[in-house]
Structure 1
Amino acid sequence: MSQSIDTLILADWVIPVQPEDTVLHNYGVAIDKGRIIAVEHHDELTNRFDATHLRRLKGHALIPGLINAHTHSAMNLLRGFADDLPLMTWLEQHIWPAEAKHVSEEFVEDGTRLAIAEMLRSGTTCFNDMYFYPQIAARVATDTGIRANIGMVVIDFPTAWANNADEYIHKGLAAFDNFKHQDGIRFSFAPHAPYTVSDAPLKKIATYSQELDLGIHIHLHETAFEVEQAVKEKGQRPIQRLNDLGLLSPSLQTVHMTQLNDDDIRLVSDNGVHVIHCPQSNMKLASGICPTAKLLEADVNLAIGTDGSASNNDLDMLGELQSAALLAKVGAMDASAMPAFTALKAATLNGAKALGIDEDCGSIEVGKCADLCAIDLDRIETQPLFDPVSQIVYSATREQVTHVWVNGKLQLDNRQLTSIDEEQLLDKVKHWQKTITQTQ
């Protein structure tokens, strides 16, 4: 007698990510109560299960939901606002002044919803956020059904969100307390960068991180200027300063890391620090190239993020993992650096490891949450097909993402969002475009 379950997905290929380099042909996934209960051949699944929802996805590959390991979601409202500028000019003369004028609870709510809509349509099922008003981002993520790690931003100077580092920490912890029992929502400390956060709050964050078992998410070694200024002013490289302050540990997620020498890489590897690579943003801002081949050789967990749309200018993780694979090759001058599967793993399971959720997410395995992305490879752009992993990494685009499930719930159905009113959202975004334009 067949077992009744919620959902049965039958794809041409299932790419579980774990075990490595595995492609399962004519396989599918059985889902019940938000969890994967079987990964088997079509015939076995249809004999064993009677599903309320059956999806036969001919020509599709099923992969774990993509994990955007670093973004500033609300900054989607500043997409294209200040292009073709180096990082510090972009920040100090354009982004920070614009934020001072416009950032509010409403700005964060609408910008985060826009970002989530874009991410779901791109196959992303979890994102790691760093922005102001974290309680608003957490609420929008909960409302829309996406998984999220919400950063509690800490910075020394005042913004619309808080006046000083202690107030940022206090308000962030209050948001954490409000959502700490909410399924699918996690929190981490998010000190902006070593050059914007002083020693005292960084020490406090290190202590709180250990006491509360929370991650730390920070921009680090993003540009040569950042490192040179730190050496000039502090007498040491930023990563060494963080080490002296007690921040280097498996709880630390370091973003960008384009300026690394061998000693830096050794520190990262020895302390189990995660590196989050944002190739397109780094290229657009001319910040440098993260030495991903050396990091992988040192057994560092390498994840991938998009950064915010103000510096990318999209949240397309398929495009990002393709850029990561290609940039690794030219950065190392080695065509074998970061093969296609390694890039896919960085955008899925490695992202889950960085966020501390790899027991539940990041691969298609029995017992894990059903966070899944279906990609239609039966298109002109991805034919002929010799290797589905290669086609996903080097040829497919986000327009080929047709279905997305988060925790077993269908969030994208044949390219249509199920939990977000697209027309209403676009009306709000046009309002913000007009408002921001008028106050430039």
Structure 2
Amino acid sequence: MHIDTLLKARWIIPVEPERIVLNDHALAIHGGRIVDILPIAEAEAKYQAASQESFDRHALIPGFVNAHTHAAMSLLRGVADDRPLMEWLVDHIWPLEQKWVGEAFVRDGTDLAMAEMIRGGVTCFNDMYFFPEVTARQVARCGMRAVVGMILIDFPSAWASGPEEYLSKGLALHDELRHNPLVSVAFAPHAPYSVSDEPLLKVRTLAAELDRPIHMHLHETRDEIDQSRQRYGMRPMKWLQQLDFLGPSFVAVHMTQLEDDEIARFAESGGSVVHCPESNLKLASGFCPVAKLIKAGINVAIGTDGAASNNDLDLMGEMRSAALLSKAVANDAAAVPAHTALRMATLNGARALGLESDIGSLEVGKYADITAIRLDELETQPLYDPISNVVYAAGRHQVTDVWVGGRRLLKNRELITLDIDEILQKAAAWREKTLASEQQPS
């Protein structure tokens, strides 16, 4: 049988079924999708491939899904470090964004973010930022996969004058991307403290009509809880429940301030949580009770947040942090084992975005979104358990090759669809432009 590609590997970690490691197996790929997974000897006898490669020192895993990003904010990496969230956001980030954010900023920042993510094995990301049509265009050009947020806030920005225009522009983008195989949209109301009732009620109705996810920061900090009590007389989640806003398509980001009854109510809603451990640690926002969420049956994914508050887009590092931090928070070394952490960084992210039928695991019929991680380096030796080494020992420098829909985006650490020299030059230009007109925060 003739196929496009045959990838032969020392290990294949499909994620689904859970905990399975396939030794000396191959992935048969045709038309951008996986058509077979079988032992190498059988694959060589069964298939004639236009291209075939051996990864005898690698594990092939599903591409990572970065379930919460602000991609263009990579251009603000390190400008306002070591401050709590609201001070960081109100006194530093928002003023910088007001001055600089436009189509060029989003274009160049998104390219920088995608280059970093691809080199870290990320094949899909869920974004929330201004000028989402620019992000979508850059994603399509690069060949990555993304869910682009139709951002919504109460106040004006360079992209829109207010809630009505945010929604109008977002819906136009949804129509434009309706049949795009790589880029789709989600509603992205920013947070309970930045979006009021009437726009949220419109989002609730539109999300149900269009069957799109709703992606929102929620219960991120103690300050958010206090603001909600002052404004509404209740905690943010209860307010959203009264608006009938929670449901299976709702994706709550951060969730560091949770009481047990709120966990139970959120589990009943069927929504997903995106855990951003390193951003939460850096901003001292709090600890997401991941083990409790999983025990309650909640789908928990992993995101990096933006590079301005992390300060990287390293999902492998985030995955390791998520696993280790969850153990400490739960006071249980068995909480979030390696295979669960890997699932959170892949299939759970896909499920949160409504993409689990197409990506997130290496299964027949799914898109060939694949990351190859070299495991023969000193840092991952000796090797007893490939899943353990991927989660607890390997670093993103060991990602050598990446495919999205069977198309290669990274080959032997070299970017195929992005010009790294051009990206670096533009990043340096933005740095000089910012420093020339703004006093660097101290």
SS at match of 2:128: strand
Tell me the distance in 1 between the aligned counterparts of 2:198 and 2:17: 43
Residue matched to 1:232: 230
Which residue identity is paired with 2:315?
M
2:427 matches 1:429:
yes
Matches within 5 A, 1:16-415: 16-415=14-413
CA distance in 1, matches of 2:242, 2:184: 27
SS in structure 2 of the partner of residue 370 of structure 1: coil
CA distance in 2, matches of 1:382, 1:141: 32
4+ long deviations beyond 3 Å: none
Distance (whole Å) between structure 2 residues aligned to residue 359 and residue 378 of structure 1: 32
SS of 1:85's partner is: coil
- SS at structure 1 position matched to 2:66: strand
What is the CA distance between 1:193 and its match in structure 2?
A: 0.1
Name the TM-score, length of structure 2 as normaliser: 0.98
State the shift of 1:233 in Å.
2.2
Q: How far apart, in 2, do the equivalents of 1:97 and 1:232 lie?
A: 25
How far did residue 426 of structure 1 move? Answer: 1.0
What is the SS of the residue equivalent to 2:170?
helix
Mapped partners of 2:194, 2:141: distance in 1: 32
Displacement after TM superposition at 1:4 (Å): 1.5
**SS class of match (2:156):** coil
Amino acid at match of 1:71: T
- How far the C-alpha of 1:12 sits from its partner, in A, is 0.6
**Alpha-carbon distance in structure 2 between the residues aligned to 1:233 and 1:115:** 36
Q: 2 CA distance for matches of 1:211 and 1:349?
A: 26
SS in 2 for 1:428: helix
Q: Secondary structure at the match of 1:26?
A: strand
Secondary structure in 2 matching 1:62: strand
SS at 2:247 equivalent: coil
Shift of 1:255: 0.1
1:232 CA drift (Å): 2.5
CA distance in 1, matches of 2:226, 2:102: 34
Distance 1:353 1:380 in 2: 34
Q: Secondary structure at the match of 1:263?
A: helix
AA in 2 matched with 1:241: W
Q: Partner letter of residue 180 of structure 1?
A: R
Name the SS for the 1:9 alignment partner. strand
Cα distance, 1:283 vs. partner?
0.3
Query: Could you say what secondary structure the match of 2:429 adopts?
Result: helix
- Which amino acid counterpart does residue 418 of structure 1 have in structure 2? I
Distance 1:108 1:79 in 2: 14
Code of the residue aligned with 2:14 in structure 1: it is P
Aligned to 1:10: 8
Q: Distance in 2 between matches of 1:326 and 1:132?
A: 33
What is the CA-CA distance between 1:184 and the residue it aligns to?
Answer: 1.2
CA distance in 2, matches of 1:247, 1:180: 24
Letter in 1 for 2:382: P
Give me the whole-angstrom Cα distance separating, in 1, the residues matched to 2:428 and 2:178: 34
Query: Which 5+ residue runs of structure 1 have no aligned equivalent?
Result: none
**Equivalent position amino acid for 1:9 in 2:** L
TM-score where L is the length of structure 1: 0.99
Cα deviation, 1:382-418, whole Å, max 9, x if unaligned, reads: 0000000000100000000000000000110000011
Aligned residue pairs: how many?
A: 438
Distance 1:353 1:318 in 2: 19
Aligned partner of residue 131 in structure 1, secondary structure: coil
* Distance in 2 separating the partners of 1:436 and 1:243: 41
Q: Any idea what SS the aligned residue of 1:6 has?
A: strand
Provide, for residues 126-171 of structure 1, a one-character-per-residue CA deviation record: whole Å limited to 9, x for no partner: 0000000010000000000000000000000111111111111111
Alignment partners' CA distance in 1, 2:20 and 2:386: 11
Deviates more, 1:239-248 or 1:195-204: 239-248
* 1:163-199 C-alpha deviation (Å, 9 max, x unpaired): 1111111111111111211111110100000000000
> How far apart, CA to CA, are the structure 2 residues paired with 1:283 and 1:351?
21
SS of 1:299's equivalent in the other structure is coil
Quick one: distance in 2 between partners of 1:285 and 1:399?
26
Residues of 1 paired with 2:306 and 2:115: CA distance?
A: 14
Letter in 2 for 1:340: A
Give the C-alpha shift of residue 425 in structure 1: 1.3
Q: Distance in 2 between matches of 1:31 and 1:63?
A: 14
Structure 2 gaps of 5+ residues are: none
CA offsets, 1:276-310, max 9 Å, x none? 00000000000000000000000000000000000
Structure 2 counterpart of 1:36, one-letter code: I
Amino acid corresponding to residue 367 of structure 1 in structure 2: G
Q: Give the AA of the match of 2:94.
A: W
Q: Deviations over 1:200-235 (max 9, x none)?
A: 000000000001111100000000111122112211
Q: CA RMSD in A?
A: 0.6
Deviation by residue 1:60-90 (Cα, 9 ceiling, x = unmatched):
0000000000000000000111100000000
**Structure 1 residue identity aligned to 2:349:** G
